[in-house]
Structure 1
């Protein structure tokens, strides 16, 4: 079975169970999940609406990040999914999971996976604030 078990960018609700199930493995004694949710504020302002957009290469780039983390960290399995489209406060925006023989390696792998995903995968957030102002986050 491949170390990279789930990679996707989708416009439907994300599932913790799907990611957890993807990285579960008899060789893994630890599983670390990171869940990014839509919050009601950013930069001291109240958020009223949020939407994510992705470049057509986003899934391919996400797979490259996942494969690099899987190859360079001491992990059993990795998974990552990101949401696009209009989201509500509290919705899941991104879920990553990493399993490893021990918890320390699972934590390190999950931290690296989410950090590199945020830095390298072309997914952009458009936030609208209660004031009517709007900003793009992550756009080049």
Structure 2
């Protein structure tokens, strides 16, 4: 099973969790994060979101993030699935799964990976609203979340 997958099709949380658990009998905890397209964006209703990326570069960047999580936390495995293309409101966007012997490191690594993904993964998001489509800007709060881990992003205006 690949640690990182960028795809247009939806994912199945149960199937992905089962596959991660089946790979290692020493796993005592699996923590999952599923991100979805919100119906409310930057103050406007969102009907859809288009996500773009650079193939190859995106996978390599997320692989490096997983490597960093493996180094920082006592985890046994991690898997990141991120969707691209046109997604409708309420669609799943991202799955982060982390397996460890105990829950603490799994929770920490999962949160670390999401903070890292929000600021460092090369994705571009365009929200579709009743007023038209617009690119989503980096947020100061996301840079601050990553800074908790000792990493400076500086992406937000």
Structure 1 length normalisation: TM-score?
Answer: 0.88
Aligned residues: 137
Equivalence for 1:69:
69
Q: Is 1:6–1:22's contact at 8 Å kept on the other side of the alignment?
A: no
- Inter-partner Cα distance in structure 2 for 1:64 and 1:44: 34
Of residues 20-29 and 106-115 in structure 1, the stretch that sits farther from structure 2 once superposed is: 20-29
Using CA pairs below 8 Å that are at least 6 residues apart, which structure has the higher relative contact order?
1
Instruction: Give ranges in structure 1 of 5+ residues lacking alignment.
Output: none
Give the drift of 1:21: 2.8
1:21-40 equivalences in 2 (<5 Å): 21-24=18-21, 25-40=24-39
1:1-140 equivalences in 2 (<5 Å): 5-24=2-21, 25-56=24-55, 57-138=57-138
Instruction: Give ranges in structure 2 of 5+ residues lacking alignment.
Output: 139-155
Query: Secondary structure of 2:65's match?
Result: helix
Of residues 48-57 and 20-29 in structure 1, the stretch that sits farther from structure 2 once superposed is: 20-29
Equivalence for 2:150:
none
Q: Is 2:99–2:106's contact at 8 Å kept on the other side of the alignment?
A: yes
- Inter-partner Cα distance in structure 1 for 2:4 and 2:15: 11
- Inter-partner Cα distance in structure 1 for 2:127 and 2:35: 15
Q: Is 2:124–2:135's contact at 8 Å kept on the other side of the alignment?
A: no
More strand by share: 1
Query: After the TM superposition, which parts of structure 1 deviate over 4 Å for at least 4 consecutive aligned residues?
Result: none
